[in-house]
Structure 1
Amino acid sequence: MSRLRGLGGPGCVHAQSSSSQDLVATLPAPTDYVSDLANVIDPTSKQQIDELCSELDHQAHAQIAVVTIDSLNGQPIEEFATELEDKWKVGPKASDRGLLMIFAIKDRQRRIEVGYGLEGVLNDAKVGDIGRSMVPLLRQAQYGPAILGGLQQIATDIATDAGVTLTPVQQTYHYQQQDAGGVRLGSILRIIIFVVILIVIFSGRGRGGGGWLWFLLGSMMGGGGGGGRGGDGWGGGGGDGGGGGFGGFGGGSSGGGGASGSW
């Protein structure tokens, strides 16, 4: 707060601060690591983000709040982030190892606000690079995968510093692309095999092994298509690898470190 109040005339800064405080005051209290107030994060990404934040909280003793809002109502995102951190106090009180990821969707603005205790791990230049890496997916309105990708980079640095290993998380966006291609190829192969089996059966060549041919044909027609993604094995699936859920933020603080940008 001290950095912000030192900028410009006192009256002007007070007016901006009051407006930012008013905006923050309208937000509901956090009930999870993810506060998707703009309702733009898909359920799968939201679960993965939440699980990764939980692991960081319980294993690396660092708390991250992911926040999406519709608009900043003309307020600077840096000031909004500082006001939000002052109210929510993300991060353990003793260490200030907290971080905010904020996305104002209609304004196309983003901010990574870093708490005092993480500034040595995530300096302004590094979080600036991470923020820019999210831009391509943000521009495609792939908000969940974009945030998850940025969070993974942040989590890697925090976990390395803390000497802990986190559960890998799949990138949903890329897996969806691969699945679509896999389904098309699988359907074509199934049709070809289906036709070959019919030819063999009705040509009389399959009399000796007609039983297994009919069984194979029945299996193909019966589906067996369930669980095409059941072998992902990348930390999704509802379990909390961190050993506990959201228990509230711990009283951390920030000095205005971090990086902002647009998309």
Structure 2
Amino acid sequence: MSLILVFQIFTTGAIASEVADLPDLTPDDRTWVIDFAKVISSSTESTTSEALEKLATETGNQVRFVTIQRIDFGQPASEFVSELFDKWFITPEQRAKQTLVLLATEDHRVAIKTGAEVDQILPKEIAASIASETMLFPSQKSNYNQAVTDGMNRLVAVLSGLADPGAPVIVAETDLSIKPSEIKTEPVSASLVVGGFLIAATVIPMVTYYWFQNQS
């Protein structure tokens, strides 16, 4: 029975999670996207799993993305993912090349825990950037597929020995999004209109009079 199926049977209807609620991970498990919150599309899961399977085969580095709905009792996400890491990977040898990425959807929280050998390749500041910049922003907008895809791309690059591509550039919304029909203009003051008519009524007769005088 798969890990995901066991969790579904054990926690049907559950919203919040504690580490104790989650099943153990078997040493030979090669499930790379464990979507307990059910927010990841099948296409994203397939693409991510293929990339992470290739990474594991070529480098030995294993990355898992885990989604839950929310963390019980306001527990810090970093503490939750550390406890889950220790629960799933018992020995130092099992932990060494592991990376565990937690995404709590209703809490809008992301945390990453890495093993000792991964720490030599993936600096803590890059891991923190992946969580707080690459994944958190789309997660806050409920774009969980983008969060997982962007996080996976950075992790695969760095753990493959390539340069860190960095966090995506977030473009601020501008007035270009405003449609012409939505642009409001200030109405012309009625007093200005009346004033214009009065000036015209005074100037035009004077100009006409002087013109006739010059003609004669």
TM tier, smaller: 0.5 to 0.7
**TM-score normalised to structure 1 length:** 0.49
Unaligned runs of 5+ in 2: 1-16, 163-216
- Report what 2:171 is aligned to: none
Instruction: Name 1:141's counterpart in structure 2.
Output: 142
Is 2:43 the counterpart of 1:35?
A: no
Matched, 1:23 2:18: yes
Give the corresponding residue for 2:58.
59
* Change in 2 beyond 3 A, CA 1:90/1:50: farther
> In 2, Cα distance between the equivalents of 1:143 and 1:90?
29
Q: Which amino acid aligns with 1:157?
A: V
Instruction: Tell me the distance in 1 between the aligned counterparts of 2:46 and 2:92.
Output: 23
Task: Answer with 1 or 2: which has the greater Rg.
Answer: 2
Paired residues for 1:194-209 under 5 Å:
none
2:99 is matched with 99
Structure 1 segments, 4+ long, off by >6 Å, are none
Deviations 1:114-134 (A, max 9, x none): 111111211111112222122
Instruction: Tell me how far 1:27 sits from its aligned partner.
Output: 1.1
> What's the secondary structure of 2:18's corresponding residue?
helix
User: Larger relative CO (CA 8 A, sep 6+): 1 or 2?
Assistant: 1
Report SS of the residue matched to 2:157: helix
Determine if contact 1:91/1:99 at 8 Å carries over to the other structure: no
Structure 1 segments unaligned to the other structure (5+ residues): 1-21, 162-263
Letter in 1 for 2:41: D
Counterpart-to-counterpart distance in 2, 1:133 and 1:94: 27
Look up the match of 1:155: 156
Tell me which amino acid in the other structure corresponds to 1:52. A
What's the secondary structure of 1:28's corresponding residue?
coil
- Which deviates further from its counterpart, 22-31 or 113-122? 22-31
What is the rounded CA distance, in whole Å, between the counterparts of 2:65 and 2:157 in structure 1? 17
5 Å-filtered alignment, 1:68-87, equals 68-73=67-72, 74-87=74-87
SS at match of 1:134: helix
1:64, distance to aligned residue in structure 2 (A)? 1.0
The SS at the match of 1:99 is strand
- d(CA) in 1 for partners of 2:152, 2:75: 25
CA contact (8 A) 1:63 1:91 kept: no
Partner of residue 14, structure 2: none
Output the aligned Cα RMSD.
Answer: 2.2
2:121: which partner in 1? 121
Are the structure 2 counterparts of residues 103 and 95 from structure 1 closer, same or farther at C-alpha, using a change threshold of 3 Å? Answer: closer
* Aligned length, in residue pairs: 140
